[in-house]
Amino acid sequence: MSRAANKRHNARRDANEPGIVEALRKSGALVDRIDGTGTPDLLVGYQGEWFLLEVKVPDKKPRLTEAEAAWHERAIGYPVAIVQTPEEALAAIGATGRYWEALADMPAALTGSVYRFVPPDSDNWFGV
C-alpha cells in the first residue's frame, strides 16, 4: 500500500482503536491491524486461539458498513466480535471472560457470525 493510501486508510480507523490495541497487548495478546475493504479491524491471537474484532465508536449503535456486511456474509462460521471499549475487547478474547449476543439488527444470514460483547451484569447475556 502506498504511503498516501495508508495515510487515508489510517485516518478512517476508529479513534478508540489504539486504546483497545494497547489493552489487548498488555494482556499478552498478539494484535495485528487488518487493512482491507470490509474486513474486521483486528486479528488477535490469545492463549492459542485466534479472534477477529471489529472496532466501533462507543456510544453509538454498532452498524456494519455495506463492505463489512458483504465480507461477513462470505465468512459465515468465522465469528467476529464487535467491540467498543478495551474492556469489551479483553472479554471478547477471554482475558476477562466471554459473553456474547448475536446482533439483532443484522440480516438473518449473518447472525451466526456477528456478535457483540454483553456485560455479565446485563439481563440479556449468556456465557460461551
pLDDT tens digits, residue range 12-68?
A: 788 999 999 999 999 999 999 998 889 999 999 999 999 999 999 887 777 888 999
Supply the pLDDT for residue 108: 45
Supply the pLDDT for residue 120: 53
Lowest mean pLDDT among 1-10, 20-29, 56-65, 82-91: 1-10
DSSP 77: T
CATH annotation of 3-117: 3.40.1350.10
**Does the predicted model carry a pTM greater than 0.75?**
no
Distance in angstroms (rounded) separating the CA atoms of residues 23 and 29: 9
